[in-house]
């Protein structure tokens, strides 16, 4: 009897631009669903159909459908093709993925009272929020002036500052310049320049002082 030849194993299929893995449970599945939402979002923003995106990215319509439904997780090569077709950076597919961030909520009247250098007892400074660590980029303070003062302290600090008047009227000085400010007026300046209220026109005067730092605050 003739010998039966052993069946040779089939050669592995070559890798294609549609490399993807089945989205299973856990982190990988959640990531696949998130990327699927971003793909649909950016495609819709461009007014592209699924077929048009498939052609532009070099993916099959079947693969694109699986990606947009979160059935598979795309490889990096696939994301690169999609980013080019959708005109967004690869990192755009991961935006909003990590939403665990510090959040500060301060109820009206519950800001932390702080003492500003040279301030009077009749002047109230309430810190409305301040991130700690490397994310500290801004410091909002609610300032309420209840009495006229002959001499106000001058301040200097790193970064920039914005003053927004909520009520009352005052003359605010920045360097050699003076500005008469009423409710709704805004003033922004370099914090390195000496600044501070020069004269209170009407009482009480209340304003927001928002300091912004370009990097980690020293």
pLDDT digits (tens, 9 = 90+) for 60-83: 999 999 999 988 888 889 999 999
CB 212 within 8 A of CB 150: no
**For the chain, what are the domain ranges?**
20-94, 112-212
Report the alpha-carbon distance of residue 165 to residue 30 in Å, rounded.
46
**pLDDT band per the 50, 70, 90 thresholds, residue 9:** very low
Long-range pairs, 43-52, Cβ under 8 A, ≥24 = 43/68, 43/86, 46/86, 46/87, 48/86
Question: In the predicted model, what is the mean pLDDT of residues 129-143?
Answer: 75
CB 137 within 8 A of CB 212: yes
Task: Give the residue with greater pLDDT, 187 vs 116.
Answer: 187
pTM of the model: 0.52
Candidates 1.10.260.40, 3.40.30.10, 3.40.50.880, 1.10.645.10; correct CATH number of 20-94? Answer: 1.10.260.40
**pLDDT band per the 50, 70, 90 thresholds, residue 32:** confident
Of 15-19, 23-27, 169-173, 201-205, the one with minimum mean pLDDT is 15-19
To the nearest whole percent, how much of the chain has pLDDT over 90? 50
Of 13-27, 31-45, 177-191, the one with minimum mean pLDDT is 13-27
Report the alpha-carbon distance of residue 39 to residue 47 in Å, rounded.
12
Q: Which CATH architecture has domain 112-212?
A: Sandwich (2.60)
For residue 120, pLDDT over 70 is answered with no
* Neighbouring-strand partners of residue 163: 187, 209
């Amino acid at each position: 009897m003739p010998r039966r030849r052993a069946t040779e194993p089939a050669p592995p299929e070559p890798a294609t631009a549609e490399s993807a893995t089945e989205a299973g449970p856990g982190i990988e599945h959640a990531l696949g669903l998130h990327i699927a939402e971003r793909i649909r979002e950016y495609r819709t923003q461009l007014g592209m159909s699924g077929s048009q995106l498939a052609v532009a990215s070099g993916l099959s319509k079947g693969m694109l459908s699986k990606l947009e439904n979160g059935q598979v997780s795309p490889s990096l090569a696939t994301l690169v093709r999609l980013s080019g077709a959708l005109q967004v950076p690869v990192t755009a597919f991961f935006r909003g993925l990590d939403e665990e961030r510090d959040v500060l909520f301060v109820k009206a009247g519950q800001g932390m009272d702080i003492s500003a250098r040279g301030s009077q007892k009749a002047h109230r400074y309430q810190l409305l929020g301040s991130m700690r660590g490397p994310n500290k980029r801004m410091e909002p303070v609610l300032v309420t002036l209840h009495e006229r003062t002959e001499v106000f302290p001058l301040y200097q600090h790193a970064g920039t500052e914005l003053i927004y008047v909520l009520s009352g009227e005052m003359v605010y000085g920045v360097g050699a310049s003076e500005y008469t400010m009423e409710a709704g007026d805004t003033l922004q300046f370099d914090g390195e320049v000496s600044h501070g209220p020069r004269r209170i026109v009407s009482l009480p005067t209340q304003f927001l002082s928002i300091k912004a730092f370009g990097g980690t605050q020293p």
